[in-house]
């Protein structure tokens, strides 16, 4: 069957199919603008996991990447979770396998494992806690002081959490290739041209820990530098009286910021910070996913049961 050609037609058909299938569309803040515009819930990883946990809809169309759809499926065993493109992966999630984690745990018997949500269900099943960029600090702070911690897979988020909590942790050396590409030099050069702007930095960035250091040393405006999840950045842009913001994360978020605040200016720290996995989801694929019920994401119950414990702890904290 032919796919409607225009954005308006596609949007209308998506809305109709959504009603017919009793579906909800969840979209991450990095999605394409036109996909963000058809979403029922738009948010960061934690907000989307929470929305998936409480939805009454029978079908969840997940406009994000594979691990996020897996998390939604884990939390909704009786529902159908659809990912419009199976190639929507994540380089960070791919940086550690369950086998590598088992080997790491064997080197540190008794350690508490904290896994960032950007991991496969199998890795989550080997973990004690999951966390996202919005609650990583709270999750680590909730672990008794005398326990050894293995934090994975993002080294920048790990170093940031270590610095903020003062806890010593073993940190896996994984990275997201998109955020690692946002360097301190990018940030400093954009800030030079926008001296009054606030600086919003995602903790996955290659620049996040050095920004904390530079802010502490007075080399960056400490009072105007914020390390935030994508949801935290949006909230901050809503509440701050500032008129200009330098945004150090994937550029998809700028659509939402600009839409909510046409009177403010949002400048990407690096305009090339585009996640090719997030951008695999197009409006055509969302339409086809609803029309044909594809691609169903399922997690074997034996893995799901163990992964759910870590995810539910994440949803409760922060």
Interface residues with ligand SF4 (CB under 6 A)?
65, 90-92, 118, 176, 178-179, 250, 275, 277-278
Report d(CA 116, CA 294) in Å as an integer: 27
Burial of 272 (0-12, 13-18, 19+ CB in 10 A): exposed
Given ligand 13P, ligand SF4, none, residue 133, with its beta carbon under 5 to 8 Å by kind, binds ligand 13P
Report d(CA 121, CA 94) in Å as an integer: 12
Q: Contact 278/65 with Cβ under 8 angstroms?
A: yes
Three-state DSSP state, 80: strand
Which residue, 45 or 210, is less far from ligand 13P as judged by CB?
45
Residue whose structure tokens are 């030099």: 185
Which residue, 178 or 227, is less far from ligand SF4 as judged by CB?
178
Given ligand 13P, ligand SF4, none, residue 91, with its beta carbon under 5 to 8 Å by kind, binds ligand SF4
Given ligand SF4, ligand 13P, none, residue 209, with its beta carbon under 5 to 8 Å by kind, binds none
Binding site for ligand 13P (CB under 6 A): 29, 44-45, 118, 132-133, 176, 202, 204, 229-230
Which residue, 17 or 136, is less far from ligand SF4 as judged by CB?
136
Which residue, 30 or 287, is less far from ligand SF4 as judged by CB?
30
DSSP-assigned letter for residue 280: G
Given ligand SF4, ligand 13P, none, residue 26, with its beta carbon under 5 to 8 Å by kind, binds none
Q: Contact 209/155 with Cβ under 8 angstroms?
A: no
| C-alpha 45 chain-centroid distance | 4
Beta-carbon neighbour count of residue 76 at 10 Å? 18
Q: Is the peptide bond before 210 cis (omega within 30 degrees of 0)?
A: no
Report d(CA 68, CA 51) in Å as an integer: 12
Which residue, 31 or 210, is less far from ligand 13P as judged by CB?
31
Residue whose structure tokens are 């963000």: 36
Q: Contact 209/306 with Cβ under 8 angstroms?
A: no
Which residue, 180 or 303, is less far from ligand SF4 as judged by CB?
180
Q: Contact 308/74 with Cβ under 8 angstroms?
A: yes
CB of 197 to ligand 13P, least distance (A): 20
CB of 97 to ligand SF4, least distance (A): 16
Residue whose structure tokens are 């044909």: 292
Given ligand 13P, ligand SF4, none, residue 290, with its beta carbon under 5 to 8 Å by kind, binds none
Which residue, 105 or 279, is less far from ligand 13P as judged by CB?
279
CA-nearest of 75, 140, 148 to 109 is 148
CB of 90 to ligand SF4, least distance (A): 3
CB of 118 to ligand 13P, least distance (A): 5
Given ligand SF4, ligand 13P, none, residue 132, with its beta carbon under 5 to 8 Å by kind, binds ligand 13P
Which residue, 39 or 65, is less far from ligand SF4 as judged by CB?
65
Q: Which helix (H) or strand (E) holds 211?
A: helix 208-216
CB of 300 to ligand 13P, least distance (A): 24
Three-state DSSP state, 106: helix
Given ligand SF4, ligand 13P, none, residue 45, with its beta carbon under 5 to 8 Å by kind, binds ligand 13P
CB of 47 to ligand 13P, least distance (A): 8
Given ligand SF4, ligand 13P, none, residue 85, with its beta carbon under 5 to 8 Å by kind, binds none
Report d(CA 92, CA 85) in Å as an integer: 18
């Amino acid at each position: 069957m032919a796919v409607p050609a225009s954005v308006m037609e596609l949007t209308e058909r998506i809305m109709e199919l959504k009603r017919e299938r009793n579906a909800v569309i969840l979209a991450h803040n990095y999605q394409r603008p036109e996909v963000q515009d058809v979403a029922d819930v738009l948010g960061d990883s934690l907000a989307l996991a929470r929305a998936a946990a409480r939805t009454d809809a029978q079908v969840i169309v997940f406009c994000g990447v594979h691990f996020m759809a897996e998390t939604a499926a884990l939390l909704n065993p009786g529902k159908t979770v659809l990912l419009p493109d199976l190639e929507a992966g994540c380089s960070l999630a791919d940086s550690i396998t369950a086998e590598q984690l088992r080997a790491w745990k064997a080197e540190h018997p008794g350690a508490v494992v904290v896994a960032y949500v950007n991991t496969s269900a199998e890795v989550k099943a080997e973990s004690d806690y999951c966390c996202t960029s919005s609650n990583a600090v709270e999750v680590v702070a909730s672990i008794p002081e005398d326990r050894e911690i293995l934090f994975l897979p993002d080294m920048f988020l790990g170093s940031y959490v270590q610095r903020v909590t003062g806890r010593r942790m073993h940190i896996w050396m994984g990275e997201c290739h998109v955020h690692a590409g946002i360097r301190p030099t990018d940030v400093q050069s954009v800030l030079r041209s926008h001296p009054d702007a606030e600086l919003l930095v995602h903790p996955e960035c290659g620049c996040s820990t050095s920004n904390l250091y530079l802010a502490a040393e007075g080399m960056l405006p400490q009072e105007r530098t914020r390390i935030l999840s994508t949801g935290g950045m949006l909230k901050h842009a809503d509440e701050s009286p500032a008129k200009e913001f330098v945004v150090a994360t994937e550029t998809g978020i700028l659509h939402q910021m600009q839409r909510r605040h046409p009177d403010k200016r949002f400048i990407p720290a690096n305009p090339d910070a585009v996640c090719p996995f997030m951008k695999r989801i197009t409006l055509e694929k969302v339409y086809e996913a609803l029309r044909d019920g594809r691609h169903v994401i399922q997690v074997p119950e034996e893995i799901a049961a163990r992964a759910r414990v870590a995810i539910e702890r994440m949803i409760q904290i922060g």
